[in-house]
Amino acid sequence: MRIWDITYATIANKCPRCNLGRVFENNNPYSLKNGLRMNKHCPNCNLKFEREVGYFYGAMYVSYGLQTTLITLLYTLNMFWWNIPSLPLVLIIISLIFILFPVTFRWSRIIWISSFTKKVISDKE
C-alpha cells in the first residue's frame, strides 16, 4: 500500500504523512507567483517538510531519475513507433524537459519527503 500512498501524495500535492495538507502553496506548478513555493509545515498534521538545511539535495537525484525516465521513454517510442530524425527529437526532448521542469521539481521533492516519512493512520480513514 505504501507505493499507492506515495503516488497519491505526489500527484495530488498532499502531505505524505496525512494525505490531507498541501506540500506546495499552490496546486498549479506553473503559477509565476507561488507555484514552486513550499509550505514550511503541513497545515493538517504539522509535519515539517524541510527537516534540515540542504535536505532537498537528495531530491535532485529523484528529479534526475524522473527526467532520465522521460528521455528513455521518448527515445524508445521514437525507435519503435515514430521514427523522428535525431535533431528534431533532441529539440522535442529538450523542450519537454524545460516545459515539465516545474512538475518534476515538485514531484521529486514530494517523493523525497515520502521516502523518509511514515504514514499516520487517522480516525477519518
On the question of pLDDT at 124 being above 80, the answer is: no
Question: CB count, 10 Å around CB of 16?
Answer: 26
Residues 6+ apart with CB under 8 A from 117: 16, 17, 47
Average pLDDT, the chain: 87
According to the model, what pLDDT value does residue 104 have?
93
Cell output for 83: 521514427
State the pTM of this model: 0.81
Q: Which amino acid is at 1?
A: M
Q: Which amino acid is at 37?
A: R
pLDDT tier, 91 (very low <50, low <70, confident <90, very high otherwise): very high
On the question of pLDDT at 121 being above 80, the answer is: no
